[in-house]
């Protein structure tokens, strides 16, 4: 299978600016899941523009290796239909069907890549010529997965976080805070994910050197809840 190494600016819906967009693709929800006992979830697509558009939905297995995100084309979950044509004001539900076994000890992680395709292009050229793109997380939930268990360390100019739990850790607005109260903002919104049993590493801004020596903490929003995590150094 084709292997794609990706380092993403994780936004809840990351998209490229339209080249000449008359159609306006909307995709949601911004986080999808297939819960235990179910075999499918639903993605909503709509066209809020004044021209017809076509969209393609692809599913990738999502892992983290060497501190970075990795996407691999997968058929364990499939989109049905994978290509949708939407008239102005049109809406379409896309089923995300799990073909593989249920998740067991920890959640299985996937990324949906939703592309608005240029007019008249639905074949191979569409892979490189897109108008708008959404990257949406999809989790196949395990019934007895442990909650995220995050430990983080500061490594000169990098922040490293390991998740020993069975569910993904979503980090929202984040900043580093020193003993003196000095703070360095890392993200005003979504900072990123640390997948179950995985490590994620982020490069830090040069301002990290301005923090006074001493204990440094990561203040973040962890799966929707405020959290303060001491950093090992």
Q: Domains of the chain, with CATH numbers?
A: 3-140 (2.60.40.10), 150-232 (2.60.40)
**Structure confidence at residue 10 (pLDDT):** 35
| Two structure tokens written together for 17 | 């600016």
pLDDT one-digit tens code per residue, 126-150: 444 557 899 999 999 999 999 999 9
**pLDDT mean over 174-196:** 94
Cα separation, 117 vs 73, in Å, equals 19
Cα separation, 59 vs 82, in Å, equals 9
Task: Locate the DSSP E strands across 121-171.
Answer: 132-140, 150-155, 158-163, 169-171
- Asked whether the predicted pLDDT for residue 2 surpasses 80, the reply is no
**Structure confidence at residue 21 (pLDDT):** 43
Give the three-class secondary structure for 64. strand
- Asked whether the predicted pLDDT for residue 233 surpasses 90, the reply is no
- Asked whether the predicted pLDDT for residue 125 surpasses 60, the reply is no
Name the CA dihedral angle for 56, 101, 68, 226, rounded to a multiple of 10 degrees: 100
**Structure confidence at residue 18 (pLDDT):** 37
- Asked whether the predicted pLDDT for residue 214 surpasses 70, the reply is yes
pTM, rounded to two decimals: 0.84
**Structure confidence at residue 130 (pLDDT):** 54
Cα separation, 184 vs 175, in Å, equals 5
């Amino acid at each position: 299978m084709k292997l794609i190494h990706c380092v993403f600016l994780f936004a809840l819906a990351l998209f490229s600016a339209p080249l000449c967009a008359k159609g306006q693709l909307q995709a949601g929800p911004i986080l999808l899941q297939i819960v235990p006992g179910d075999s499918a979830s639903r993605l909503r697509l709509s066209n809020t523009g004044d021209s017809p558009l076509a969209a393609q939905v692809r599913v990738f297995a999502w892992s983290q290796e060497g501190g970075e995100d990795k996407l691999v084309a997968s058929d364990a979950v499939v989109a049905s239909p994978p290509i949708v044509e939407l008239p102005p004001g049109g809406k379409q539900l896309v089923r995300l069907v799990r073909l593989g076994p249920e998740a067991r000890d920890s959640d299985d992680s996937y990324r949906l890549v939703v592309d608005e395709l240029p007019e008249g292009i639905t074949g191979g050229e569409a892979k490189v010529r897109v108008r708008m793109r959404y990257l949406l997380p999809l989790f196949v939930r395990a019934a007895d997965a442990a909650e995220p268990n995050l430990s983080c360390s500061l490594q000169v100019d990098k922040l490293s976080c390991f998740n020993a739990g069975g569910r993904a850790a979503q980090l929202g607005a984040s900043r580093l805070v020193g003993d003196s109260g000095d703070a360095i903002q890392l993200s005003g919104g979504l900072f990123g994910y640390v997948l179950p049993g995985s490590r994620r590493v982020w490069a830090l801004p040069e301002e990290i050197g301005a923090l006074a020596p001493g204990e440094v903490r990561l203040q973040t929003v962890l799966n929707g809840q405020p959290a303060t995590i001491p950093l090992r150094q």
